[in-house]
Amino acid sequence: MRSFLAPLIFVLMAYAACTPPDEVRLQNYIEPAADGFYAQVPVCYYPGRIFLGDSYSDFRHQTSELRETASTETDCGIVKREFITARRDTTLNCSFKNGRLIYLESKTILSQDCASAAEACELLGENYPCLGELGIWMDNQQTDTFRRAEDAFAEEFKLVRNGKNFGSLVYRIGYFDDYDCDTNNHS
């Protein structure tokens, strides 16, 4: 449990300073989001430096290996984009408002179904060392979700079941914002 607790405390302290929205407070912001107080997508979960608040061009610079498969724009100006990673078992869904990243969701399909959260996290551990002992914690708490919320954003790891077993891991991080509007497809 200690190996999970130390990184968790570090992550909580690092994220404690996060501020944004106000329509992401970035419409006229020209500095990279990393220079402000913006939550970073964990490096071990996605290689590269992606931050909530990144401009689309900064995001694409960090994710140039991703292939965009779909794009949808909502009536309230949010652009939702879907990407496939090089590993092919992971898709990335991102929402941009005013040209800035406000939400990221990653879904990773497990190579085999797992009966316990600990087994699922161990299977993913080589690619995602930030999971640490999260699976053991989930099994002890009898939950399939780890969620934390700060003042400006929430982050969540969720194991999704296929019947009785776990078949995928979903990671979400996003600002508290209402971005579920009607959509117009621009694929």
- Each residue of 86-120: pLDDT tens digit? 666 888 899 998 888 989 998 999 999 999 999 99
Cα–Cα distance list, 33 to 36, 90, 114, 122, 131 (Å)? 5, 25, 37, 32, 25
Give the whole-angstrom CA distance, residue 37 versus residue 18.
5
CA 10 to chain centre: 18
Helix (H) or strand (E) holding 135: helix 134-141
pTM, 2 dp: 0.74
Helix (H) or strand (E) holding 174: strand 165-175
Helix (H) or strand (E) holding 161: strand 153-162
Residue 51 has pLDDT above 50, yes or no: yes
Q: Shortest CA distance to 76 belongs to which of 6, 180, 186, 166? A: 180
Tokens representing residue 139 in the block? 């099994």
Band of pLDDT at residue 149, cut at 50, 70 and 90: confident
**8 Å CB contact between 51 and 33:** yes
Three-state SS at 100: strand
